[in-house]
A = this chain, B = another copy of it.
Amino acid sequence: MCVLFVPTVLLLFPSSRELTMVNETQHTCSTSSSSKSDGGSSSGSESSKDSSRCSTPVLDADRHERLREKMRRRLDSGDRWFSLEFFPPRTANAAVNLISRFDRMAAGGPLFVDVTWHPAGDPASDKETSSMIIANTAVNYCGLETILHMTCCNQTKDDITANLQKAKRLGLKNIMALRGDPVGEEWEEEVDGFNYAVDLVKHIRNEFDDYFDVCVAGYPKGHPEAESYEADLRHLKEKVLAGADFIITQLFFRSETFLKFMKDCQAIGITCPIIPGIFPIQGYHSLRQLVKLSKLEVPQEIKDVIEPIKDNDAAIRNYGVELAVSMCRELLDSGMVHGLHFYTLNREVATTEVLKRLGMWNEDPRRPLPWAVSAHPKRRVEDVRPIFWASRPKSYIYRTQEWDDFPNGRWGNSSSPAFGELKDYYLFYLKSKSPREELLKMWGEELTGEESVFEVFTCYITGEPNKNGHKVTCMPWNDDPLATETNLLKEQLEKVNRRGILTINSQPNINGKPSTDPIVGWGPSGGYVFQKAYLEFFTSSEIVTALLKVLKKYELRVNYHIVNVKGQNITNAPDLQPNAVTWGIFPGREIIQPTVVDPVSFLSWKDEAFALWIEQWAKLYEEESPSRMIIQYIHDNYYLVNLVDNDFPLENCLWQVVDDTFELLNSPTQK
């Protein structure tokens, strides 16, 4: 298992100190040279003998920076940014939806998201809905820089330490340190206990040194329980002096409120970033609820507008957007504000709209790599993955979460990755997003034979409704509709699926398109991206027999792996070597090869790919039902095949391979 060889690294490269030094140098440089995201740094000296040569891909400076550094860099460069606050959902289904929302909102380019801490909701547990697990999902599976809220009152030191340790283990690097609401009306300070957020800040710094970036809350109108506005400012300063890195404020209704607060903070020597918390009003009830909790007063001019339209949700939301946009504009125009923090209430529309109107929604987020990157600090070097999980990146991240190091630059022959077991398969974020009824409509209430399965695959490819008029928008192996890139192959894919080549993954060959290409591009601009044509499908043993004969003709050009559920494995791949199928060449960088066809991982993927037939499809039907038996038959008898056309500069020959196969099957001698 991968874990095994970390000590090797440690043994071989004891001089991690120098590595840090280089990092720091870079940091200084990039800070001072400001707006460029990869400003040059020429200094740095190291004893080289011991440094690992294989540890630093760096497609994106951001991946190596702490949150406070990212913030600082944007402050220096004047780049504007935003962040999004979510609370943990109540049900597992709501969690699935929230995660989809993370993915969609990640597209806009938030600097970070934060997840609130609900003491009543078992926040540190492993429940699907706990604060801890939602934050874990955001950072690891959605690749989002994440702040986890944490409260301290009414908790023991040991519990708090354990929670922080757990957060650290999960890859969380940022904590919002809060007091939390005392239980009961009468609250008394505990001696040596955690009575205020400042106690938690101190504890974090004492126990975890500089590991976490720590955020604290600021109250533009003063904390409702503070003796005075001034006293509250002094408490805030104490929190900063105790080690907080930046401040996020409570919501407010007028830009003057925040700007005054900011000046007052500066006046008493608070120099860290202060980020205004923006609350786009989204409805009458949510506003009332929030106001009640925060003990804030809604200005009369707002009340005047809202009261008359309180039953018209759309009207209130439109007004809320309008209000938020103009307030944000005032904040940004002041020159004192670069980042905006949004209280989303777990909703998308209003916040997205505000950001779009402000021009801060990133419409064209560049993919750093052609798959979902995890934001876990230990995965920062990761830049190669097997292509098999292209449509199931969360499953890949999940199954490799125990790895102690991640491939960087080269997958390597000896990687022999231990993938997590399928027993954990039912965790909510690996399930289909769609409910059973919807899946049945898409995949068929009743199957009549293998052909009805072919039809489901075909409908998924074409986007046409099935015979009952339902569009097939997802498959067990693809939770989303066809990728734009795959659309390039649509016509061919349709043809082969109709005939029982049940495709689950494919990519066209690409011979040096610009890295900015809207469909196949990825990575920094100025580069060129390449791909070998790839086709992965399930098919019957009859077709496999013919295919193998045909493949002899293509022996030098096409690499194949053909495996059934029992693990019978036929391949012409040299040794156990991976085949790079996606790579990019960039100015001033080493080659990046983000996806490979790795013979060893394919056998792990095989287990997952076959299991999906049963777990996601067969189990929709009654046991012993004909529909279930059809899927079971396919599961037991079909082969999973992948083909790579190595001659990427020529026309993709894989369609010809398939055509030849059918021709052979239809030839009289064959019959």
Contact = CB atoms under 8 A, between A and B. Distances in A.
A15 B603 CA distance: 8
A578 interface: yes
A126 to B, nearest CB: 22
A635 B485 CA distance: 55
A412 B409 contact: yes
A662 B225 CA distance: 74
A585 interface: yes
B413 A22 contact: yes
A215 B43 CA distance: 51
A578 B603 contact: no
Contacts of A50: 5, 8, 404
Nearest to A528: B649
Contacts of A4: 48-49, 414
Contacts of A57: 410
A591 B589 contact: no
Interface in A564-578: 567-569, 571-578
A661 interface: no
B5 A1 contact: no
A21 interface: yes
A603 B19 contact: yes
B580 A589 contact: yes
Contacts of A571: 22, 40, 42
B40 A574 contact: yes
Contacts of A408: 53-54, 410
Interface string A552-590: 000011010001000111011111111110010111111
A511 interface: yes
A136 interface: no
A57 B512 CA distance: 24
B559 A54 contact: no
A18 B416 contact: yes
Contacts of A53: 2, 5, 54, 405-408, 410-412, 414-415
A53 B577 CA distance: 12
Interface string A379-412: 0000000000000000000000011111111111
A414 B48 contact: yes
Contacts of A599: 22, 42
A593 interface: yes
Given A15-B567, A404-B49, A590 B22 contact: no
A9 B600 contact: yes
A11 B5 CA distance: 13
A579 B574 contact: no
B573 A40 contact: yes
A366 to B, nearest CB: 16
A41 interface: yes
Total copies of this chain within the assembly: 2
A49 B413 contact: no
Contact of A409 (B42, B410, B511, B567): B410
Nearest to A568: B18
A578 B58 CA distance: 11
A52 B9 contact: yes
Nearest to A649: B512
B600 A590 contact: no
A627 interface: no
A45 interface: yes
Contact of A414 (B8, B574, B578): B8
B413 A5 contact: yes
Contacts of A61: 575
Contact of A557 (B410, B587, B596): B587
B416 A575 contact: no
A590 B19 CA distance: 27
Given A5-B52, A556-B587, A404 B646 contact: no
Contacts of A11: 1
B590 A580 contact: yes
B22 A576 contact: yes
A271 interface: no
Kindly name the residue among A61, A410, A568 whose own CB sees the greatest number of chain B CB atoms within 10 A: A410
A589 to B, nearest CB: 6
Contacts of A402: 49
A17 interface: yes
A656 interface: no
Nearest to A41: B575
Interface in A258-312: none
Contact of A8 (B9, B52, B567): B52
A42 B569 contact: yes
Given A9-B600, A41-B576, A410 B413 contact: no
B38 A574 contact: yes
A451 interface: no
A31 interface: no
A47 interface: yes
Contacts of A603: 13, 15, 18-19
Contact of A12 (B1, B409, B575): B1
Contacts of A206: none
A530 interface: yes
Contact of A412 (B56, B416, B418): B56
A517 to B, nearest CB: 13
Contacts of A15: 567, 603
Given A9-B416, A12-B416, 15 more contacts: A5-B52, A7-B49, A8-B50, A8-B416, A9-B52, A23-B576, A42-B569, A44-B576, A51-B414, A53-B407, A53-B408, A55-B414, A528-B648, A572-B588, A579-B589
5 contacts: A4-B48, A51-B415, A53-B415, A573-B588, A574-B589
Which 8 pairs, one residue from A and one from B, show the smallest C-beta to C-beta distance?
A409-B410, A46-B416, A56-B413, A5-B414, A587-B646, A53-B412, A54-B54, A48-B418
